[in-house]
């Protein structure tokens, strides 16, 4: 029952609706329902946020270590170097997301041409 398991036009949309829409909007609707009942400092929410953060971080690392498409043609050291440089720039230049992205891209594109 994977994304390309059923050869019908509606299957990808059903897949996106169930695995995408239902899996995200359920949490949003639950959030409206709970309203102010749960405290932002509640211990359960610390755990919830930690699991969510670790999961998204794993996605980020996998996109850098095992990328698809054109990015896969670049050496791992270059991708890793660009990401580390970008993150260091983000931390050093007042936590500006734009600075982190710009430095990572500059290092990556510079390295791409330097390596030929």
Partner 1 sequence: MSRNHPQTAPGDPGSARRWFLRGVAAAYSVPGLILVSAFIGFAGLAKETGLTVVETVFMVGVVWALPAKVVLIGAILSKASIFAAAFAVALSSIRLMPMVVALVPEMRTEKTRPWVLYLLSHFVAVTSWVLALERFRDVPPDMRTTFYAGLGGMLVLNNMIVVAVVYMLAEQLPPVASAALFLLTPMYFLTSLWGSARERAAHVAMVLGLGLGPVFHILLPGFDLLAAGLIGGFAAYGWHRYARRRAAP
Q: Does 63 engage in binding with partner 1 (CB under 8 A)?
A: yes
Assess 114 for contact with partner 1 (CB under 8 A): no
Site for partner 1 in 30-49 (CB under 8 A): 30-32, 34-38, 40, 45-49
Residue 8 vs 95, nearer CB to partner 1: 95
Report residue 89 as tokens.
């720039």
Comparing CA positions, the residue from 87, 90, 110 lying closest to residue 99 is 90
92 binds partner 1 (CB under 8 A): no
DSSP state of 75: -
Q: Take residue 100 and report the two structure tokens written for it.
A: 């982190």
Place of tokens 């994304």: 3
Helices (H), the chain: 11-16, 23-34, 43-65, 76-92, 97-115
- Number of residues in contact with partner 1, rule: CB under 8 A? 78
For partner 1, the binding residue among 10, 113, 114, 116 (CB under 8 A) is: 113
Q: Which of 24, 75, 77, 92 binds partner 1 (CB under 8 A)?
A: 24
* Token pair belonging to 95: 């936590």
Nearest approach, Cβ of residue 22 and partner 1 (Å): 7
- Candidates 8, 90, 114, 116; binder of partner 1 (CB under 8 A) is 90
Cα separation, 20 vs 77, in Å, equals 33
């Amino acid at each position: 029952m994977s994304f390309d398991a059923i050869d019908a036009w509606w299957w990808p949309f059903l897949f996106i609706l169930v695995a995408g829409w239902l899996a995200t909007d359920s949490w949003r609707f639950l959030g409206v329902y709970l309203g102010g009942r749960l405290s932002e400092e509640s211990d359960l929410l610390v755990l919830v946020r930690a699991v969510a953060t670790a999961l998204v971080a794993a996605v980020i690392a996998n996109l850098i270590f095992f990328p698809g498409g054109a990015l896969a043609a670049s050496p791992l050291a270059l991708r890793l170097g660009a990401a580390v440089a970008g993150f260091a720039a983000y931390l050093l230049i007042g936590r500006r997301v734009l600075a982190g992205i710009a430095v990572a891209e500059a290092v990556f594109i510079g390295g791409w041409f330097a390596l030929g």
